[in-house]
Amino acid sequence: MVTAAYPTGTVLLLAGTRQGLFLLTSQDRVRWNIQATSLQRHDARIFYAMFDPHNHYRLFAADNRQRVAFLRYSDDFGVSWQEPEESISFPTTGPNGQAEIWYIEPGRPQAPQTLYAGTGPADLWISYDSGNHWQRNAALNEKARHEQWENGEVGPVYIVL
């Protein structure tokens, strides 16, 4: 894994767009440097990106394109990307035909390899190994009336995370 490659005090923002993911850096918050990652595609739709501070700043990106969602991660600040060995998969799509990853959140400091992902259709996914393997949270997802949680857009699971 690559550790932080930016000077101490650098402000680092992630900008997901329909053209890919960009890293914006600044030392003074006035002048910004924009750096494209290798996740640039004409059909990309980077809806969410985050750094996991518990795991050497592993970068995660949710690419929700063309009714298909991909979760990717990078250990070198976006130079290269990998897909998890067991990724988030969608047995069905939502009412609008979409399958989307809405949010990725690191676990508590006591569980540094744990990550959570909220998706639409409304589901909660958990990884216990820094994002290499994902599984549905059966206790929550198989709850009675789970199908009523979906509102057609952002699922309530996203709001809870």
pLDDT in the model for residue 128? 97
Q: Which amino acid is at 41?
A: R
Query: Measured between alpha carbons, how far is residue 61 from residues 93, 110, 161 in Å?
Result: 20, 24, 17
Mean local confidence (pLDDT), 73-84: 93
Nearest to 75 by CA among 102, 40, 51: 51
Percent of the chain with pLDDT over 70: 78
Coil, strand, or helix at residue 69? strand
Task: Judge whether 74 and 58 are in contact, CB under 8 Å.
Answer: yes
Band (pLDDT 50/70/90 cuts) for residue 72 is very high
pLDDT in the model for residue 19? 87
* Residue 130 Ramachandran class (φ > 0 left, ψ -120 to 50 alpha, else beta): left
- Residues 102-122: pLDDT tens digits? 889 999 999 999 999 988 777
In CATH, the architecture of 11-160 is 7 Propeller (2.130)
When the pLDDT of each residue in the chain is averaged and rounded to a whole number, the result is: 82
- Residues 14-65: pLDDT tens digits? 999 988 999 999 999 999 999 999 888 767 789 899 999 888 889 999 988 7
Residue 99 has pLDDT above 90, yes or no: no
Q: What is the DSSP letter of 86?
A: B
pLDDT in the model for residue 120? 78
Residue 129 has pLDDT above 90, yes or no: yes
Break the chain into its structural domains and give their ranges. 11-160
Quickly list DSSP for 4-56.
--S-TT-EEEEEEETTEEEEEEESSSSS-EEEE-S---TT--EEEEEEETTTT
Q: In whole angstroms, what is the distance from residue 33 CA to residue 10 CA?
A: 11
Residue 1 has pLDDT above 50, yes or no: no
